[in-house]
């Protein structure tokens, strides 16, 4: 296919640009931070598609001081000739028509990241202004803006300031440059997150081997930030990045790339001495945290080929426990990336691949490639290490099964213990019920007295639970605190997990706002991530946010949840105020705990989500694993050691 085939003829219009501003949630999910970044990803994805289809090798993203963001690639450049149906430039069509683009007939792109073809137009519609330049020998420019029309009494979204113009300025560059400023009339915040953007761009660089992505943040002169991501090892580098700080069973990941039935399959595998599996899958650069047919095919192939290898090399003895798929995946870190046409997703979240042809293609390609690698004598020790690890996992699985049987036998006793420990709610409708996992008996007592007894259950913890990141499943099942949590929630864990048995649709972690409380939260979130991940994926896990301060005088009381709110609370209460800083939940009486932290009408809850599963994996490994140096480095980079505690100064000032 030549560049000449990429012209206005390939830009198909399916419907006009309407109602995006009226109902932005239909197009970008929300008007919060996630939606804000979504309109950036739409432009980034267009650039990535150029690179992934072989037309570009450089992308640059810049956050500017005026709140705008720009994305530039060195691809073919958006077509600038006149569109036959629309009668205007194809460039204008792309930015003003929904479902207009060159990705609907598979002629110009083998595959694309965008799911709906609404990208550039939606970004334009939800921006205060947008400017685009196309480099094709000379520079072509076009500008759009969203303004209030006095005559029509409404905001006109993404309207062209004028027609596309050829500046006649010659350029050696090629590609497209898009710069836009999100509209504050639409979004709750228009401040982009440096951390969110850098993580996604790094992920895209890993998934597209050899692609250079530069990210620069110009917003703060004192904290200038610029990072370039380029990974010539691609998925191999990705796995090594995730396994940094872990004890690896072999130095370099096993890697293969193949194509089956028009589907490109790429994977990298490495085993560590850990006890959980970490498989991350992607389709056309889109994360699929819920897996799907491609992941099923991959797992099936790994189980089959490694079982065959173990038997043919007499690595499995008759007395050994029969090996299962989960045994081969214990301690495995794997990235599976497929690229295909006509992607179909299951469910509302669009995070699970549904194409049945992907299963057979990935399974076939994985079997053939692993078989080829196994036949290379240089790799024999690697695959023997995999089998040895699997045999150990099988023994541990057998021990865990025994522990589960004991746990089930104890379930009556656990339930009896729960009667004394868990303050259950009276409602039997799980979708209306919530359970607070509370730090300490003192806070648990206040929570039990102050709760809504119909829909709120309370489960107090005694001390810090076990850090499951360093323990086998058998150890987790033998831990009293976790067994209580498992029994109370009702879903089971690991392979026995069943979301349909969930007793409470809100599982709320409620701990003190101090270091110990944060550590307990981290331990519990690690447990949920490792053994009840679906609970997080489906939005059932929350963190309760108790206030840090109480500002009061006579009959006026205002609670503040951080230092910024404290100042507002002081101003609201006025002269003669008193301040109390809460050191723990146990300092609150039942009424205060209800008013501040448990009352659904007033409380603040933080829903736990997995925006990026690979980054969550990396962070949990860093913070909860054995890599002391990695943990020190992370804390040194992210902790604010210069933050001063001004509470006592405020108290002294008040006393004076």
Q: Nearest CA to 510 among 575, 442, 585, 592?
A: 585
d(CA 272, CA 240) in angstroms, rounded, equals 11
Residue 362's Cβ-count burial label (10 Å; 0-12, 13-18, 19+) is buried
Asked if 516 is an active-site residue, the reply is yes
Structure tokens at 503: 């007793």
Helices 194-207 and 235-242 pack at an angle, to 10 degrees, of 130
458 half-sphere exposure, CB direction, 13 A CA radius:
26
d(CA 574, CA 168) in angstroms, rounded, equals 64
Q: Nearest CA to 14 among 106, 143, 103?
A: 103
Q: Which of 143, 514, 563, 611 is catalytic?
A: 514
**What's CA 535's distance to the chain center, in Å?**
14
Please report the sign of the dihedral spanned by the C-alpha atoms of residue 281, residue 286, residue 291, residue 294.
negative
Q: Nearest CA to 186 among 21, 40, 66?
A: 21
Q: Nearest CA to 112 among 50, 185, 157, 170?
A: 50
Q: Nearest CA to 95 among 113, 72, 71, 119?
A: 119
Q: What is the 3-state secondary structure (H, E, C) of 120-187?
A: HHHHHHCEEEEEEEEEEEEEEEEEEEEEEECCCCEEEEEEECCCCEEEEEEEEEEEEEEEEEECCCCC
Q: What is the 3-state secondary structure (H, E, C) of 63-93?
A: ECCCCCEEEEECCCCCCCCECCCCCCEHHHH
Q: Which of 73, 266, 474, 512 is catalytic?
A: 512
Q: Which of 308, 441, 452, 516 is catalytic?
A: 516
d(CA 401, CA 36) in angstroms, rounded, equals 46
Other Cβ atoms closer than 10 A to 205? 25
Other Cβ atoms closer than 10 A to 564? 9
Could you please report the per-residue DSSP string of 463-504? S----GGGS-HHHHHT-HHHHHHHHHH-S--GGG--GGG-S-
Structure tokens at 54: 């072989």
Taking CA atoms, 167 is separated from 71, 80, 138, 333, 341, in Å, by 20, 13, 7, 51, 37
d(CA 244, CA 630) in angstroms, rounded, equals 8
In the three-class reduction of DSSP (H, G, I as helix; E, B as strand; rest coil), residue 656 is classed as coil
d(CA 557, CA 540) in angstroms, rounded, equals 32
Please report the sign of the dihedral spanned by the C-alpha atoms of residue 135, residue 140, residue 146, residue 152.
negative
Asked if 514 is an active-site residue, the reply is yes
| DSSP H or E stretch at residue 220 | none
Q: Would you please indicate which residues are annotated as catalytic (active-site) residues?
A: 439, 512, 514, 516
């Amino acid at each position: 296919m030549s560049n000449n085939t990429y012209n206005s003829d390939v830009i198909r219009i399916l419907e006009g640009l309407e109602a995006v501003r009226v109902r932005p949630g239909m197009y970008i999910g929300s008007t919060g931070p996630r939606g804000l970044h979504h309109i950036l990803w739409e432009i980034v994805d267009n650039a990535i598609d150029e690179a992934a289809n072989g037309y570009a090798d450089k992308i640059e993203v810049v956050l500017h001081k005026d709140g705008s963001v720009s994305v530039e690639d060195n691809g073919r450049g958006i077509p600038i000739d006149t569109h036959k149906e629309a009668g205007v430039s194809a460039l204008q069509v792309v930015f003003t028509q929904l479902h207009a683009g060159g990705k609907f007939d598979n002629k110009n792109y083998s595959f694309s990241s965008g799911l709906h073809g609404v990208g550039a137009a939606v970004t334009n519609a939800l921006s205060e202004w947008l400017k685009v330049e196309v480099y094709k020998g000379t520079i072509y420019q076009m500008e759009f803006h969203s303004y209030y029309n006095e005559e029509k009494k409404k905001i006109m979204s993404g309207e062209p300031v004028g027609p596309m113009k050829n500046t006649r300025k010659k350029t050696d560059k090629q590609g497209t440059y898009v710069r836009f400023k999100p509209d504050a009339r639409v979004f709750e915040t228009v401040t982009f997150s440096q951390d969110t953007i850098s993580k996604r761009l790094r992920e895209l660089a890993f998934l597209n081997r050899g692609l250079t992505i530069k990210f620069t943040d110009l917003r703060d002169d004192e904290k200038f930030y610029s990072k370039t991501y380029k990974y010539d090892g691609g998925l191999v580098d990705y796995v090594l990045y995730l396994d940094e700080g872990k004890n690896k069973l072999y130095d370099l990941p096993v890697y293969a790339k193949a194509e089956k039935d028009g589907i490109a399959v790429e994977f990298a595998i490495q085993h560590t001495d850990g006890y959980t599996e970490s498989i991350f899958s992607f389709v056309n650069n889109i994360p699929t945290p819920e897996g799907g047919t491609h992941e099923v095919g991959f797992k099936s192939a790994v189980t089959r080929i490694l079982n065959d290898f173990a038997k043919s090399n007499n690595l499995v003895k008759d007395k050994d426990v029969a090996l299962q798929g989960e045994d081969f995946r214990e301690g495995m870190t794997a990235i599976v990336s497929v690229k295909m046409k006509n992607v179909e997703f299951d469910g509302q979240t669009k995070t699970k691949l549904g194409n049945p042809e992907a299963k057979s293609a990935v399974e076939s390609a994985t079997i053939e490639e692993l078989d080829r690698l196994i036949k290379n004598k240089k790799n024999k020790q690697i695959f023997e290490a995999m089998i040895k690890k699997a045999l150990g996992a099988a023994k541990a699985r057998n021990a865990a099964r025994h522990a589960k049987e004991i746990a089930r036998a104890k379930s009556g006793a656990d339930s009896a213990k729960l009667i004394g420990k868990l303050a259950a709610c009276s409602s039997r409708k799980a979708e209306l019920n919530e359970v607070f996992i509370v730090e300490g008996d003192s806070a648990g007592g206040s929570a039990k007295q102050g709760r809504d007894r119909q829909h709120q259950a309370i489960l107090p913890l005694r001390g810090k639970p076990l850090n499951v990141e360093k323990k086998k499943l058998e150890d987790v099942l033998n831990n009293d605190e976790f067994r209580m949590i498992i029994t109370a929630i009702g879903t089971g864990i690991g392979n026995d997990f069943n979301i349909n048995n969930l007793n409470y649709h809100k599982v709320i972690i409620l701990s003190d706002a101090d270091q110990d409380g944060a550590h307990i939260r981290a331990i519990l979130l690690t447990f949920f991530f490792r053994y009840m991940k679906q609970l997080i994926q489906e939005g059932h896990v929350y963190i309760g946010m108790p206030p840090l301060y109480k500002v009061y005088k006579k009959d006026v009381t205002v609670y503040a949840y951080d230092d910024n709110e404290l100042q507002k609370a002081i101003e609201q209460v006025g002269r003669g105020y008193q301040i109390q800083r809460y050191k723990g939940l146990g300092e609150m009486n039942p009424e205060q705990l209800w008013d501040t932290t448990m009352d659904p009408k007033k409380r603040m809850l933080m829903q736990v989500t997995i925006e990026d599963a690979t980054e969550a994996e990396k962070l949990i490994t860093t913070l909860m694993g054995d890599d002391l140096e990695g943990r020190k480095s992370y804390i040194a980079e992210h902790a604010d050691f210069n933050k001063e505690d001004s509470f006592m100064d405020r108290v002294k000032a008040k006393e004076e």
